[in-house]
Structure 1
Amino acid sequence: MWEETFKSHTDNKPNGPSSISLDFSLPGVEHVYGIPEHADSLKLKTTDGGDPYRLFNLDVFQYELFNPMALYGAIPVMLSHSAQRTMGIFWLNAAETWVDINYVQGSSETPQTDVRWISESGIIDVFIMLGPTPTDVFSQYASLTGTQAFPPLSALAYHQCRWNYNDQEDVAAVDQGFDEHDIPYDFIWLDIEHTDGKRYFTWDPHKFPQPKDMLQGLMDKRRKMVTIVDPHIKVDSSYKIHNEIRSKGFYVKNKDGGDYEGWCWPGNSGYPDFTNPEMRAWWASMFAYDQYEGSMENMYTWNDMNEPSVFNGPEVTMHKDALHGNWENRDLHNLYGLYVQMATAEGLIERSGGVERPFVLTRAFFAGSQRYGAVWTGDNTAEWEHLKISIPMCLSLGLVGVSFCGADVGGFFKSPSTELLVRWYQTGAYQPFFRAHAHLDTPRREPWLFGPENTALIREAVRQRYALLPYWYQLFYHAHHSGQPVMRPLWVEYPQDTATFSMDDQFLLGEDLLVHPVTEEGGRGVTAYLPGKGEVWFDVHTFQKHNGAQNLYIPVTISSIPVFQRGGSIIPRKARVRRSSSCMEHDPYTLFVALSPKRFAQGELYIDDGHTFNFDKQKQFIHRRLSFANKFITPSWIEKIVILGASKPSKATLKTPGEFFQFIVCSNVSGFHTQVGI
């Protein structure tokens, strides 16, 4: 009598209908954020009179914008913010969840936000993070679910992907194309077509007959590859992976106790039960070099379709009455993708004997997924609105722990105009995960296919990313240690500035770089808000100084990427951009010193080997604080110092053990450069 039918699917509901719910009232609050993943504005909208926000991991085809519908991931964490306080609510429940939001006027005209959480099953398990500052909330949440995994430095560089590069010759041609057009990249990706009939952990014997030769060719150039490994397994008695999972009883079961099967890319497929720790341990062992034939140490992994996607299932996912041991899928559905990424990341660590940091990208995620790698916003579309929405989508993820996020540059579906593609590269270069990707049926769009002028524009955007890698790396180091987001809304650093509370067309990287991408077709100017009364901001391209606490209109051309450095900061860069980040490993640094109105600046420089756990296990790293106050002293290897905002010549002293280098820096109105011979 409890059964429910959805189209041709029947939900058995053996335990009957159930739900749990709890209401929260937030006095004095008019802004709430978080509960990704939704293609919506940063500030969550009222759901009064409409559908609630839904948290239920689904494979959504061509998702709609500004819609509370469920997408690929679900993190049941909401932040509230006012000029007086920041707080967080963590509703720890992995079942299908709905969140109602109502902005109301309380007594005496005091604003209030009411929030209702409703989950289909489970228990009420709620954590209230009292702040009171944004930084406090981030660290409180990190204490519960962990911090962002510290990625290899190369993972912060540029990734080239499409569905699919055809064969080994195609990979070699694309790789060579980057060299011929002087565009750096670190990773080239292979989608599902590289496998032998969609059997993961295998290679197509005709198109990729010598995968190690291909990987060695990339390694010789200090580049890397990512291959896709999805969690649906072809039901095929000649397929080793399937036979072992079935023989060990590791598949998810249907309500009658048999192996649950559904339709996905390989056809009829089984779904490993990643909630089982024995299954995860076995899966991890499959990434060993003697198990995953053709793999090498410069090959990493992409987990897609892990909501899980079931083409012939209800809402293109697993039936809720499927069984994970004694638990129904309805109880833990939103955890499946996290466990897939967890097992994969552990496999990449194990294959190196625990030495190397992994890189794993996932589409589905839950609270805590940040511990295992990166996330992307799924199958977006080559449209201007999708470019714009990538900013609040990534900001929302960063607020709830997932700093390593990005959107497919250029859009996955359809074909971008040349202008849109250029603007997307310029935006993606300043978002944490920087990957171009495209659908199988779209025309090729490698960066050099749109004429020399556009190739030059894309090259410049990518080069700006590579020059800033030292800064990106130290931001991720802090995210790993303290849970602070890498890409953050302005209100995080200016919590009492009400003008910033709803902004989601610009953002901060750390506290020192402000980025306002150009996301309008035919845009001839943007209006950026520069926060901070009494502060100054410097255009990183022209070195022009601007006062804070103002809206600044910036005329733009197709080559413009409006970025500003905060006065009072020091940002490390590398001026020599080479073909990959690994090739820049031993290059010296350039420090960009932006002086505050009081002629002071401070920053830091973090260096380690870029790829192992030795920074943690053996404390093998350099972490230097940098300061400028009349003179500049640092023990680090510096070749150039650029000081912005000086009004007269300054003396800088560069100190290294046993040596001193002195030079006079000459100033002008826009800044100055001095080359230091070391």
Structure 2
Amino acid sequence: MGWVRSLTVIALTFGAASVEAFKEQEFKKCADSGFCERLRGKQGDSYSADPKSIQLNGAVVTAKVQHDASGAAYDLQLTNYNGILRMHIDEAASKHRFQVPWVLQSELPDSSQAWTKTRQSSSLLQLQSGSAQLTLTFKPLRVDLSIAGTPAASFNARQMFQYEYLREKQEGDPAGWWEETFKGHTDSKPKGPQAISLDLSFPGFQHVYGIPEHAASFALKPTTGEGIESEPYRLYNLDVFEYNLDSTFGLYGSIPLMLAHKAGLTTAAFWLNAAEMLVDVASDNSGTQTQWVAEAGVLDLFFLLGPDPATVLQQYGRISGTTAMPQMFSLGYHQCRWNYKDETDVLGVNAGFDQHDIPYDVIWLDIEYLDDKKYFTWDKNYFPTPIDMQDKLAVTGRKLVVIIDPHIKRKSDYYVFSEGESGSYFTKNKDGKDYEGWCWPGSSSWVDCLNPASRDWWAGLFSLSRFQGSTKNLYIWNDMNEPSVFNGPEVTMPKDNIHHGGVEHREMHNINGALFHAATWQGLEERGRDSYGSDGDRPFILTRSAFAGTQRLGALWTGDNKAEWPALKFSVPMCLSLSIAGLPFVGADIAGFFGNPDAELFTRWYQLGAFYPFFRGHAHLEAKRREPWLYDGTTTDRVREAIRMRYALLPYVYTLFRLAHTHNQPLMRPLWYEFPDEAETFSMDDQFLLGPSILVAPVTEAGASSREVYLPTSTRWYNFHSGTAMKPASTGGLLRSQESPKNSIKVDMDSIPIFLRGGSIVPRQERARRSSLQMQGDPFTLIVALNDSAAASGALYLDDGHSFAYKRGVYTERALTYADSVLSNAAAGIASTLLPSLDVSVPLPAGAKGLKSDAVVERIVVLGLPGGPAGWKATVQGSSQFLQAGPGPLRLKQGLPESGLIIRKPGLPIAAEWSIRLSKSS
């Protein structure tokens, strides 16, 4: 929610313009940070690797590195993890610095692959592994990587590497080394200067992406170069409400992963460092050059060698883990505002969805449900019977989510505070006493989640016996976990605060929110085992602050946005940036947290939001109520249609999440992810793909009657709503002119342009239900969209939708294919059809019997049959059974009768082997 209360007072006193100015002045720029001012744009002193110290031992190269001017010594290690190069540099001997915990996966060392030495001289070492070639130049220190002979990345090509070594304080040291002040807050620096600068070059690449979270374009814009005046991209997790758009300013999360893409090659770099970081981007004809500067930590740099987008994301998943498999209910629609005022209000909204025949799965409570802003409590005046309220929601198939933040009210008779104080579970100030700051409860302490004992204690608070008033149908929202501190520097915690093990907050700031999220996840996981037995219950926790590894825990939203058209537009590149940085369960507040959207903006945001992986409506305390039925009847009808579309697609979305869980693949994808050689897509962020099969082109301007849509030229496309094929101009269809590769698509308020990729099979469940729970066992519709070769493929993943039973093989995966006029349903890994480039299967555990399902296929729609849909018949292979087939519309409300062949009520089990042959009637 942000530090809204403080700014509300300022707005009343000075007016809205003063709020904007106040907001701008509250946060640092590069010139306000000593480490950035020292190192940004500066060529470093020379560093050299001692040739005599070079040792090659299988997959590992080690060397001694020296700062030539001071003689400071460092240890270098280069490790090859079969497609991943890890470069680690730390100060030698006893001066080892803070190494970020928790993120790296324990199985990473098991995948190492030996180097082959191809050349060594007094000046360099050259190594080969598969298609990857590494060249280590000794003086000045430099690393160059090539893939199949194509240059991919270079470290220190511009000699901007600088590693400020730990030292003793001396008379005459420069100002800012040991202390600096900003806006009245003094930051002591007991360890002195310890920043690291490095430059990474991507030769031949004109586009780089990632390093979220910023409200900026998807392809990162240059921040430095001739005629460019810009702040660097900042990675420092902060509570920034009503954030500016098209800005390099850092928001709530930081994932220091950058992808570089060009036709024929995708590569990436990931710096495991949780201190404040700033990144500059420059571009010229030779490629893209970047400079990264971190205030503290070590250089722990990973190069992901690709060579394609899917492989890069899989490699990143090997480092930091893959997406948690979500519960099915969490993929439905969520209804939230700050705040539903009492139990009557909650149950009234729940009934309103049923009265207006709109499906939804979750209703949320913000901070006003609490007793005096004390977490794990309920305000008995407004929520006297929370268990009864949750039980009534559960009867209708719905869940409740409540907010729980990391700041704990300092009150001696509050059990959470007294336990945290006596157990020493709170973050300390620089003097070693419990840190005291100001947040929603007033005077507060903050859980030190770097401390494993603190995390265990925090997790235990979520048990049903300790969290009085909670049930197994209650899930959690972690907000304010950057952490947000109203009276702190930049509205966060002082950097010289102390965490477990003597770690300064500056060293671990960006991972603070992820560790708090992890402790909450642990609590819900333990509660699930207590409530459901050994298979447990998958946690659902929404977080605002994120770091590498957050994907292992759950969902993220893009924070406190505005109900304005530009915020709608920028939500797409924001979600894309997070998605390709390994965090796919993302979404933006619909239809803007602050303000009051008109009916047009409200409608357009729901039409887009139905395709966010995380689909939640949310609004500020002072915003007008905006449940979907509170606008006019036509708007309600359109929003209902958008939400129902999401529910119809839940089988497809759930299958994509399985792929995210097993192979770390994003749901929201830039077009170049699927069409990597189409240069027109490299800068595109106003449309996207949901998985490999559905192209979404949101309408992001008021009053639009048309919009341009780029349809990649290497495949056939169909109108998602009608099933009509997109035809070239010569046959009278939609125009792709010679001047522009885009189609000009007419739009009305009933829908946004959506297209189905030729060659896809998309499973749907189309019966209107009140929630996803009621859809279990519903029949399926298969949409078969043929490509130019009259072929298609798709997949379906099914499990129980809530437990961890899938880990012991209680699931089914179906490969759906159409070839040679035969539609087949076979048991096979979904990656074999949705991700054939990786060719990595997920074997069933020993003894697994899979999942039984009584669900059947009730309809099959085949688009793009040669000669049109008329005159075909359908026969079950190996049987004399003929199925009713004929032309028909894809949807009753839209479409043409000739748009597809419909096979009605085949009644075939979705989880069984079968095939259907199509043939022309004689």
Please report the TM-score for the alignment, with normalisation by the length of structure 1: 0.97
- Tell me, yes or no, if the aligned pair for 2:885 and 2:904 is still in contact at 8 Å: no
Does residue 282 of structure 2 align to residue 102 of structure 1? yes
- Tell me, yes or no, if the aligned pair for 1:605 and 1:625 is still in contact at 8 Å: yes
Distance 2:753 2:253 in 1: 31
Larger radius of gyration: 2
Distance 1:539 1:260 in 2: 58
Match of 1:644 among 850, 855, 863: 863
Distance 2:329 2:241 in 1: 31
Match of 1:464 among 645, 653, 671: 645
Higher relative contact order (CA 8 A, sep 6+): 1
Higher mean displacement: 660-669 or 213-222: 660-669
- The superposition leaves residues 206-238 of structure 1 with CA deviations (integer Å, 9 ceiling, x where unpaired) of 100000000000010111010000000000011
> Hey, what does 2:156 align to over in structure 1?
none
C-alpha deviation, 1:279, in angstroms: 0.7
Q: What is the 5 A alignment of 1:368-383?
A: 368-383=549-564
Match of 1:88 among 262, 268, 281: 268
Task: Look up the SS of the partner of 1:416 in the other structure.
Answer: coil
Match of 1:60 among 240, 247, 255: 240
Match of 1:238 among 410, 413, 418: 413
Distance 1:318 1:633 in 2: 58
Task: Supply the AA of the counterpart residue of 1:621.
Answer: Y
- Tell me, yes or no, if the aligned pair for 1:633 and 1:652 is still in contact at 8 Å: no
- The superposition leaves residues 507-536 of structure 1 with CA deviations (integer Å, 9 ceiling, x where unpaired) of 001111111011110111111111132x21
> Hey, what does 1:671 align to over in structure 2?
900
Task: Supply the AA of the counterpart residue of 1:641.
Answer: I
Does residue 461 of structure 2 align to residue 286 of structure 1? yes
C-alpha deviation, 1:542, in angstroms: 1.4
> Hey, what does 1:186 align to over in structure 2?
361
Task: Look up the SS of the partner of 1:114 in the other structure.
Answer: strand
Task: Look up the SS of the partner of 2:672 in the other structure.
Answer: helix
CA spacing shift, 1:582–1:653, aligned 2, 3 Å: farther
Distance 1:210 1:435 in 2: 26
Task: Look up the SS of the partner of 2:639 in the other structure.
Answer: helix
> Hey, what does 1:623 align to over in structure 2?
813
- Tell me, yes or no, if the aligned pair for 1:633 and 1:654 is still in contact at 8 Å: no
RMSD of equivalent CA atoms: 1.4
Distance 2:304 2:817 in 1: 34
Task: Look up the SS of the partner of 2:237 in the other structure.
Answer: coil
Task: Look up the SS of the partner of 2:774 in the other structure.
Answer: helix
Task: Look up the SS of the partner of 1:666 in the other structure.
Answer: strand
> Hey, what does 1:22 align to over in structure 2?
198
- The superposition leaves residues 604-639 of structure 1 with CA deviations (integer Å, 9 ceiling, x where unpaired) of 1111110111111x2011111111221223377201
Does residue 724 of structure 2 align to residue 544 of structure 1? yes
Task: Look up the SS of the partner of 1:99 in the other structure.
Answer: strand
- Tell me, yes or no, if the aligned pair for 2:239 and 2:491 is still in contact at 8 Å: yes
Higher mean displacement: 578-587 or 542-551: 542-551
C-alpha deviation, 1:661, in angstroms: 4.7
Does residue 633 of structure 2 align to residue 452 of structure 1? yes
C-alpha deviation, 1:653, in angstroms: 4.1
Distance 1:127 1:599 in 2: 42
Task: Supply the AA of the counterpart residue of 1:457.
Answer: R
CA spacing shift, 1:82–1:210, aligned 2, 3 Å: same
- Tell me, yes or no, if the aligned pair for 2:628 and 2:636 is still in contact at 8 Å: yes
Does residue 882 of structure 2 align to residue 662 of structure 1? yes
Distance 2:727 2:553 in 1: 40
Task: Look up the SS of the partner of 2:198 in the other structure.
Answer: strand
Match of 1:212 among 387, 393, 407: 387
Does residue 213 of structure 2 align to residue 37 of structure 1? yes
Distance 2:352 2:362 in 1: 14
Task: Look up the SS of the partner of 1:207 in the other structure.
Answer: coil
- Tell me, yes or no, if the aligned pair for 2:456 and 2:519 is still in contact at 8 Å: yes
- The superposition leaves residues 164-219 of structure 1 with CA deviations (integer Å, 9 ceiling, x where unpaired) of 00000000110011111110000000000001011011100110000000000001
Distance 1:653 1:238 in 2: 73
Match of 1:77 among 257, 260, 284: 257
CA spacing shift, 1:120–1:589, aligned 2, 3 Å: same
Distance 1:302 1:590 in 2: 34
C-alpha deviation, 1:563, in angstroms: 1.0
- The superposition leaves residues 77-108 of structure 1 with CA deviations (integer Å, 9 ceiling, x where unpaired) of 000011121110001110000001001223xx
C-alpha deviation, 1:282, in angstroms: 1.0
- The superposition leaves residues 142-169 of structure 1 with CA deviations (integer Å, 9 ceiling, x where unpaired) of 0000011110011000000000000000
Distance 2:672 2:183 in 1: 45
Task: Supply the AA of the counterpart residue of 1:652.
Answer: A
- Tell me, yes or no, if the aligned pair for 2:861 and 2:901 is still in contact at 8 Å: yes
Match of 1:608 among 794, 799, 802: 799
Task: Look up the SS of the partner of 2:628 in the other structure.
Answer: coil
Q: What is the 5 A alignment of 1:489-568?
A: 489-533=670-714, 535-546=715-726, 550-568=741-759
Task: Supply the AA of the counterpart residue of 1:334.
Answer: N
- Tell me, yes or no, if the aligned pair for 2:883 and 2:904 is still in contact at 8 Å: no
C-alpha deviation, 1:25, in angstroms: 1.4
- The superposition leaves residues 101-136 of structure 1 with CA deviations (integer Å, 9 ceiling, x where unpaired) of 001223xxxxx1111010000111100111111111
Task: Supply the AA of the counterpart residue of 1:588.
Answer: P
> Hey, what does 1:317 align to over in structure 2?
492
Does residue 813 of structure 2 align to residue 633 of structure 1? no
C-alpha deviation, 1:670, in angstroms: 1.1
> Hey, what does 1:488 align to over in structure 2?
669
> Hey, what does 1:306 align to over in structure 2?
481
Higher mean displacement: 547-556 or 71-80: 547-556
Q: Tell me the number of residue pairs that the alignment of Structure 1 and Structure 2 aligns.
A: 669
- The superposition leaves residues 9-29 of structure 1 with CA deviations (integer Å, 9 ceiling, x where unpaired) of 111111113310111111101
Distance 1:20 1:270 in 2: 31
- Tell me, yes or no, if the aligned pair for 2:689 and 2:696 is still in contact at 8 Å: yes
- The superposition leaves residues 286-321 of structure 1 with CA deviations (integer Å, 9 ceiling, x where unpaired) of 111101111111110000000000000000000000
Distance 1:499 1:650 in 2: 39
Task: Look up the SS of the partner of 1:78 in the other structure.
Answer: strand
Match of 1:364 among 540, 545, 556: 545
Distance 1:653 1:131 in 2: 44
> Hey, what does 1:404 align to over in structure 2?
585
- The superposition leaves residues 398-427 of structure 1 with CA deviations (integer Å, 9 ceiling, x where unpaired) of 101100000000100111111101100001
C-alpha deviation, 1:664, in angstroms: 4.4
C-alpha deviation, 1:659, in angstroms: 8.1
C-alpha deviation, 1:245, in angstroms: 0.6
> Hey, what does 1:109 align to over in structure 2?
none
Percentage of pairs with the same residue: 52
C-alpha deviation, 1:677, in angstroms: 5.5
- Tell me, yes or no, if the aligned pair for 2:883 and 2:906 is still in contact at 8 Å: no
- Tell me, yes or no, if the aligned pair for 2:241 and 2:559 is still in contact at 8 Å: no
Task: Look up the SS of the partner of 1:69 in the other structure.
Answer: coil
Match of 2:432 among 250, 254, 257: 257
C-alpha deviation, 1:662, in angstroms: 2.9
Distance 2:579 2:812 in 1: 26
CA spacing shift, 1:531–1:277, aligned 2, 3 Å: same
Match of 1:195 among 361, 365, 370: 370
> Hey, what does 1:576 align to over in structure 2?
767
Task: Supply the AA of the counterpart residue of 2:799.
Answer: D
CA spacing shift, 1:580–1:661, aligned 2, 3 Å: farther
Task: Look up the SS of the partner of 2:652 in the other structure.
Answer: helix
Distance 1:677 1:136 in 2: 38
Please report the TM-score for the alignment, with normalisation by the length of structure 2: 0.71
